[in-house]
Amino acid sequence: MAENVEIDYTLNNPDTLTKYKEAGKISQAVLETVTGWCTEGANIVELCERGDKLLEEKVASVYKGKKIPKGVGHPTTISPGPYVTPYTPLKSDAEEAARTLKAGDVIKIQLGAQIDGLGTIVCDTIIIPSHEHKDDIIPSRQADLLLATHYANELLLRLMLPPGTLAAGTDEEKAKAQAQKPYTQAQITQMLEKLVKSYDCNLVESTTCWSFERNEIEGKKKIILAPGDGVRGDGLPEVGDVWGVEMGVSLGSGKVKNFPDRATLHRRTTTTYGLKRPSSRATLSEIVKKFGTFPFSLRQLEDERAAKVGVVECVRGGVVRQYEVVGEKDNEPVARLLTTLAITKNGIQRLAAPTSPDVTQFKTDKKIEDEEILKILEQPVAKAASSKPKNKKKKKKAAKKDSKEDEGESEAEE
């Protein structure tokens, strides 16, 4: 009788990183496509549905014929203006379903794929251009917001690198670099606040980065930026970790409040509870089968109206978590980025990441002047890729062989 071999789902197993990378490619490709669909007048719920369909199609095209669970790791959400949390309206809510994108809107697009329970989530922020002026330079305050968010995100990634990860030089120099203390969460928030204030912006209250594990996008460790009252993070990044790194920046105070919109984004928990209503049991059964413990929108369930009823007891019993709709307290525009990354011995690998902005489009007179922050931003997040020694030896042997056959050709190649 064959023994059940326990699979290693850490980054020590090369197959784990391969699956993360494959899921990341899909997430990033779908994000780019959905971004292209986001134009003035486009209907938000229709864009979300199209994004989910594309995610499902692309996930279905990989690891064919293998008994590997895979699917949507995070539904497509499009959050306009002051919305902080992912926004995904329902077709059965007429007023919400009618919402369209407006020229000048600051929108956040978030989605993700998962393969074998290894999820990658990505979020980017864009400005909706008008039909008449597609190539307009982004105005100053919006430019301030996007630049502050981009550079704060880049700074955060560098502050998350474990000390000495990219150290070079003698063994003594490497040991000295590794002995340095990592940045505390309070220090990280302090430096990020200093950066965003260069652009007259503020961090969004309690923006949270989570460590990722198999079937879990809210792992044991979390970094909370600009934490609210009674809120604190726990743990620091280490080599071998996978993280969902979020950055939220506001043109307002950065303080948040609950919006009156219906909560439509949910996620199954590990809590068990005896559901009494047949509709609730049917809804939970479909959730488990389709989404496991990954986030989902009620519109992804077979019968949206029945799901709205069935999920109520699931939430009340704690077997399903409801994500409240949260926005900027001053109703000012918010920008968000989310990167899924792996921390390896060679530094940070961006598995799924937002597109780097074209800063030439941004018109602003503000800039970062803090020397310490500028110095950190100049640092790489990973070691430069280099050829393997074995490949070099092969090249040298090939070069010697060529030189014997044709000395002149060998010189040209060198």
In tens, the pLDDT along 233-283 reads 999 999 999 999 999 999 999 999 999 999 999 999 999 889 999 999 999
Contacts of 174 (CB under 8 A, 6+ apart): 164, 167, 168
391 confidence band (pLDDT: 50, 70, 90):
low
Cβ atoms of 297 and 265 within 8 Å: the answer is: yes
Residue in the structure block whose two tokens are 């937002």 = 354
Q: Other CB atoms closer than 10 Å to residue 173's CB: what's the count?
A: 12
Contacts of 370 (CB under 8 A, 6+ apart): 194, 195, 198
The pLDDT value given to residue 136: 59
For the stretch 177-225, pLDDT in tens is 888 899 999 999 999 999 999 999 999 999 999 999 999 999 999 999 9
410 confidence band (pLDDT: 50, 70, 90):
very low
> What's this model's pTM, rounded to 2 decimal places?
0.90
Domains of the chain, residue spans: 14-256+329-378, 264-322
Cβ atoms of 83 and 327 within 8 Å: the answer is: yes
CA angle, residues 243, 231, 240, in degrees to nearest 5: 20
169 confidence band (pLDDT: 50, 70, 90):
confident
Nearest Cα neighbor of 259 from 330, 337, 335, 336 is: 330
172 confidence band (pLDDT: 50, 70, 90):
confident
CATH number of the domain located at residue range(s) 14-256+329-378 in this protein: 3.90.230.10
**Which CATH number, 1.20.120.50, 3.40.50.150, 1.10.10.10, 3.30.420.10, labels domain 264-322?**
1.10.10.10
